[in-house]
Amino acid sequence: MEGNTERKPGERILTWFLLALSLFVLVNAWRMPHETLSSSGAFPLFIGSVMILSVLRVLWKEWKVFASWKWGDERSLIQPFVLPKEVIAYIVVLVLFMLLTSSLGFWISSYLFLVGSFLLLKGARPVKALIIGVVMLAIIWLLFQYIFRIILW
């Protein structure tokens, strides 16, 4: 159960980040009232400690793996492993979608998002993408207007 399976490039960065997050949780929990064992801060302190201990356990377990891998060798593998070009491009599209959605409203921004995504992910050719975008939004409109009764912005 505890045996590691494979080396994942970049795992050490995530593990240190999670340790920092756990410390942040613990420090903030410490600032809450914790005079008694049922105070507001007592349980957060306990959970913060569990988070730290479990990340330390991951670090301890993976230490040899991390040490056996030169940072220079690992660094070049991180981006293709966790953030290949398609994922980066799609995250950019998602961020744009989120930025546009508050100014353009749901329908226009979603249409642009759908068509852009179909083209980016090679789901459909341009004309087909434009048509599928309209059909999908029409289905969503019908579903939410008449069945789920959710009013979109």
Partner 1 sequence: MEQLGYFLMAFTSIKMIFLVCVGTFAGIYIGAIPGLSVTMAVSVLISFTFSWDVNEALCLMAGVYCGGVYGGSRSAVLLNIPGAPAAVATGFDGYPLAKLGEAGIAIGLATTASVIGGYLGIIALATAAPVISDYSLMFASRDYFMLAVMGLLLVGSLSGESLAKGIFAGALGIFLSMIGMDTFTGMGRFTFGSVGLMSGIHFVAIMIGLFGVSEALVQIHDLHIAPIKQNVKNIIPSWRLLFKHFPLIIKSALIGIGIGALPGAGGDIAALMAYGSARRSIKKPTRPFGQGAYEGVIAPETANNACIGGDNIPMLTLGIPGDAVTAVIIGALYIHGLKPGPMLMIDTPHLFWFWVGALTLANTFLLPLGLSGIRIFAKLVEIRKGLLLPIIIVISVVGTYGINNSITDVYWMMGFGAFGYILKMYGYQMGPVILGVILGPIMEDNYRRAMQDVQHSIPLFFWKFFSSPLTLALIIVTVVMIGSQAGWWDKIKKSLFKTKSVQSEKS
Q: Which of 27, 63, 75, 86 touches partner 1 by CB under 8 A? A: 86
Residue 44 neighbours by CB under 8 Å, 6+ apart: 25, 28, 29, 32
Tell me the CA end-to-end span of the chain in Å, nearest whole number. 48
CB atoms under 10 Å from CB of 51, counted, come to 18
CA-closest candidate to residue 105, choices 62, 147, 42, 151: 151
Is residue 102 a contact residue for partner 1 (CB under 8 A)?
yes
Minimum gap (Å) between residue 72 Cβ and partner 1: 20
Is residue 151 a contact residue for partner 1 (CB under 8 A)?
yes
Minimum gap (Å) between residue 151 Cβ and partner 1: 7
Is residue 150 a contact residue for partner 1 (CB under 8 A)?
yes
- From residue 46 to residue 75, the character string flagging contacts with partner 1 as x (rule: CB under 8 A) and all else as - is -xx-xx--xx-xx--x--------------
